[in-house]
Structure 1
Amino acid sequence: MNSYISQLILLCLTITTVQSYTYEPPGRDPISIDKIRSSEQAISLTTENYDELTAGKLVFIKFYAPYCPHCNAMAQAWNELAEYYQSANDDILIGSVDCTDSPHGKTLCMKFKLSGLPTLLYGPTSYDGAYLEEYGGGKSFNELKSFALKELVPKCLPGSLDACTPEQRIQMEKYINMSYKELSQEIEMSEFQLKVAKETFKEKKDELQKYHDKMLIEKEMNVTKCKNAIKMIEGVRDKLKKLESVKTEL
């Protein structure tokens, strides 16, 4: 009797567990989510390990949700990219952040104020990620790899002065030593110079267009004049030829 009761209790617990796991729609149930999370080959990033693991590295990070169809569509390509870089370059980190993993990944996703998923960010993590940019290209492995090989390289930035040319470094150090107000004034000056350059180009372009139009009209007039002259000359020549032919016959 006790054995029967034990089996009955075990059966009830099993049914309850199955129901709890199948309550959510397919893809959103705990089993599916755990399976997707565990299949990620990229380094799992959370608020707890982000600063330590990304310090001094160039990163390519996928922010995703396990039940997002577009995220799952690119999952295999992202895994291949992660596997490629595991041995290709120690200075580059391919990471993944699960935005549904609260609070670990969710808080990190909120920090970057993402507008949708999946979102891919790349670049240096210095200055609290101020230089990270959003990737908008194709999601196949070859497309991701080609982009990473081209873009995940040291660039001349405040956090990577070694990548600057001597001239760039002098300029960058000058900006680094400026105050916020001085930098704002520098930007205003550059924006004014940009505006002047565009306006000057437009003025010169308009002048060239007017000159082009004038020369085009003169060309058409000369062409018409020359064609009329040729027609008149051909008429006179043909008339003279006929007269000479008549004289020869006489």
Structure 2
Amino acid sequence: MSGQGTTQTGTLPFGRLDATADATAEPTAELTADATAELPWLEELQGRTVVVKFGGNAMVDPALHRTFAQDVVELWHAGLRPVVVHGGGPQISAMLDRLDLEVRFEAGLRVTTPETMDVVRMVLTGQVQRELVGALNAHGPFAVGMSGEDAHTMTAVRRPAWVDGRQVDIGLVGEVVAVEPGTVRTLLEEGRIPVISPVARGADGEVYNVNADLAASALAVALGAERLVVLTDVEGLYADWPRS
């Protein structure tokens, strides 16, 4: 992120903006002035990129889902350039259960077999992302869905887990090692809201399941985002993981 960039966790820290103009319209000086008068600090973020990670746990609440979409669109109306990276853990687990496939975690990471990876891609891009894009586009033609695979946006390498000091193979779980943000920047310049699922391809040709928090962080750095906001139901963060 840029030198002034910050990371925040918890509820969306931007408040309710009550944008009353047509949601399909470009941000106007009048609308932006109304928003910044209500929340003056927004003026500092006008024209700046903000990456928001929306967790799968939050997405299972329909009311919260709708409120999140409205908030993101209102940020756009206030002159910000939001980018959404979403998770989908509960939805993936539910689909695995329906298909009678094992649901297993090691060190907080999903053990991802090739069969599980097929489900991850299907659920993240075909279900969770489509629902989020639809919620955003209920307010106008804003959101465009894409995967970290698309246009080589994210490149990952296989990542093992460490459990009690020993390395554990967790399958097709990856760590982002490179980001090509050109496509995301193009969408932002076109006035769109990119909605990105955390799946990435490796140089080895494999497709990897990537932790959404880490994917959002890597993308925020590559975009020079002013802020990274992580929406989560987790009550706290480790300051020095895995040594804490």
Fold shared per TM-score above 0.5:
no
- Give the TM-score of the pair, scaled to structure 1: 0.20
Larger Rg: 1
**Structure having the larger proportion of residues in strand:** 2
**Structure having the larger proportion of residues in helix:** 1
Identify which of structures 1 and 2 has the higher relative contact order when contacts are C-alpha pairs closer than 8 Å and 6+ apart: 2
